[in-house]
Amino acid sequence: MNNPILTAYLDAQVVLNEWISNPESIQKTETAALLIKEAIENGNKGLICGNGGSSCDAMHFAEEFTGRYRKNRPALPVISLTDPSHITCVANDFGFDQIFARGVEAYGKENDFFIGLSTSGNSQNVIEALNQASKKKLKTILLLGKGGGKLKGKADLEFIVPGKTPDRIQEIHMMILHIIIEGVERHLYPDHYN
């Protein structure tokens, strides 16, 4: 039986899986893992943010550092800037564009790392957070889509997923985040992977 929805999904996944497995993408995930590993080893922390599904991905990424990924190990310092009380307070008092920037201002220190997720690359609140992270001299990583949008070229390291729809882009963003988490663990706790 022909299922055009499933066929289109699988066709898109083939293209995106080829993209994530190319040498440039593989090198970028290793670079990101090393950047995060070095920040953590030096007593720094990470901040991550995104909107909608990307907000959920940000929380997912953070909890796999503070909780666990594959095996038990010490908790690692990554904060998702997605607390509802913070978001509603800042949105009410300063505007929605400032919800993540205020979190970076509050928690970010020089040589921490910041990860921004935006499937369009045009999320103004992620743009403002990146600006604040750069001002405070955090290391910056962006996971983008659709050509990178306004955020293209603005971070120390960026992944621009060539997907056409937010759902496919977010699926690859989560794959990238999982690869980065495993890379960090492999560097910090190599015995876990022997």
pLDDT at 166: 92
Please give the Cα distance from 149 to 59 (Å, whole number): 23
Assigned token pair, 113: 């790392």
pLDDT at 192: 85
Residues in the chain: 194
Type of residue numbered 186 = R
pLDDT at 12: 73
Nearest to 167 by CA among 13, 7, 4: 13
Measured CA to CA in angstroms, residue 135 lies from 105, 111, 127 at distances of 9, 11, 12
> Structural domain tally of the chain?
1
Nearest to 46 by CA among 55, 144, 37, 151: 37
- In order along its 194 residues, the chain shows pLDDT tens digits of 578 777 777 777 777 778 778 889 899 999 999 999 999 999 999 999 999 999 999 999 999 999 999 899 999 999 999 999 999 999 999 999 999 999 999 999 999 999 999 999 999 999 999 999 999 999 999 999 999 999 999 999 999 998 888 998 999 999 999 999 999 999 999 998 87
pLDDT at 163: 82
pLDDT at 82: 96
- Tell me the CATH number at 142: 3.40.50.10490
Q: In which element (H, E) is residue 139 found?
A: strand 139-145
Nearest to 178 by CA among 27, 13, 32: 32
Neighbour order of strands in the sheet with 139-145: 78-80, 46-49, 113-118, 139-145, 157-161
- Containing structural domain, residue 53: 4-193
